[in-house]
Amino acid sequence: MKSSAPIGIFDSGVGGLTVMRKLIQTMPEENVVYFGDTARVPYGNKSKETVLRYTHQIIRFLETKQVKAIVIACNTASAYALHEVEKEFSIPILGVIQPGAEAAVKNSRNQRIGVIGTYATIGSKAYESSIKNINPHIEVFNKACPLFVPFVEEGMLEDILTDGIIARYLQELRNAHIDTLMLGCTHYPLLRTSIEKYMGNGVVCVDPSEETSLKVQKILQINHLLNSQNQHPKYEFYVSDSAQKMVEFANMIMPFQIEDVQTIQIESF
Ligand code: DGL
């Protein structure tokens, strides 16, 4: 494996760009291949079997791009599929749950942590088990917030309607006196300002992509695969449906403009 090989990253759709954004901020010299499963999003209300099958197909696709490591940016796919696929494939595969849990535990002083995510992520209790594995005394308060995803995709990051839905979902976590809130879904970091405003000063929001990026960097370093001399990193974008949505969303949140997005038949992998 060459250090110039790209890092593969995938999500159920466009939201994983929040993780890619953090990844390239941490490692600006790395080449990256992103896949967004825009034809089959959302994963958050699908079964474990389905998400596992999709994850297998995507990993097989990314392998054709000779990636040196894979990041599962999607919290739902991390929760449902990481444990299976990390044993099956020889390249390093990382999810966002364990790094996110470590960051949350490190932050919490009062040992009361809130976790928000899709129905699937919350139902899997993946964050809760990872947090309790690190420190069994921590109390975890879970809440599925399924409507946050469409609000973000509509670009309603700071909006009176968004504030209303935030209050509706998060009131019970605010009343639970948590001091740390895990943003356990790719889209939620984009609502961070609005969520922080509602939760107040005593609550720190944790974006799992920060710790995940550091972990990827460490694994590449250990394996002598860091691409440290690359002045012109290459980013490739693939989706399973029309490219338009990806282009629009990427140009809303990424630090550069994206034009070239290719549509592939993910079912054939
Ligand atoms: N990417 C998903 C996640 O982080 C959110 C969108 C979906 O439900 O697919 O869980």
pLDDT digits (tens, 9 = 90+) for 50-64: 999 999 999 999 999
107, 80 in Cβ contact below 8 A?
no
pLDDT of residue 228: 84
pLDDT of 259 strictly over 90: no
The finding on whether 12 has its CB within 6 A of some atom of ligand 1 is yes
Coil, helix or strand at residue 184: coil
pLDDT of 265 strictly over 90: yes
What separation in Å is there between the alpha carbon of 45 and the centre of ligand 1?
9
pLDDT of residue 58: 98
pLDDT of residue 1: 86
DSSP conformation class of 6: P
- Residues involved in catalysis: 74, 185
Average pLDDT over residues 159-185: 98
Torsion sign (Cα): 25, 264, 152, 100: negative
Q: What is the percent of the chain where pLDDT is above 70?
A: 100
The finding on whether 18 has its CB within 6 A of some atom of ligand 1 is no
**What separation in angstroms does the CA of 103 have from each of 107, 208, 236?**
6, 7, 29
The finding on whether 182 has its CB within 6 A of some atom of ligand 1 is no
Residue 9: which of 201, 178, 236, 228 has the closest Cα? 236
Which tokens in the block code for residue 181? 């809130």
The 10s digit of each residue's pLDDT in 180-229 is: 999 999 999 999 999 999 999 999 999 999 999 999 999 999 999 999 88
For each of the domains in the chain, give its residue range(s) and CATH number, in order of start: 7-95+210-268 (3.40.50.1860), 98-208 (3.40.50.1860)
pLDDT of residue 229: 85
**What separation in angstroms does the CA of 269 have from each of 9, 79, 85, 240?**
16, 22, 15, 12
pLDDT of 162 strictly over 90: yes
pLDDT of residue 86: 95
The closest residue, in CA terms, to atom 2 on ligand 1 is 74
pLDDT of 230 strictly over 90: no
The 10s digit of each residue's pLDDT in 118-154 is: 999 999 999 999 999 999 999 999 999 999 999 999 9
Q: How many CA atoms lie within 13 A of 29 on its CB side?
A: 11
The closest residue, in CA terms, to atom 6 on ligand 1 is 42
Residue 77: which of 111, 40, 102 has the closest Cα? 40
Specify the pTM: 0.97
Q: What is the percent of the chain where pLDDT is above 90?
A: 96
Q: Which of 10, 38, 43 to mutate to test the pocket of ligand 1 (most atoms within 8 A of CB)?
A: 43
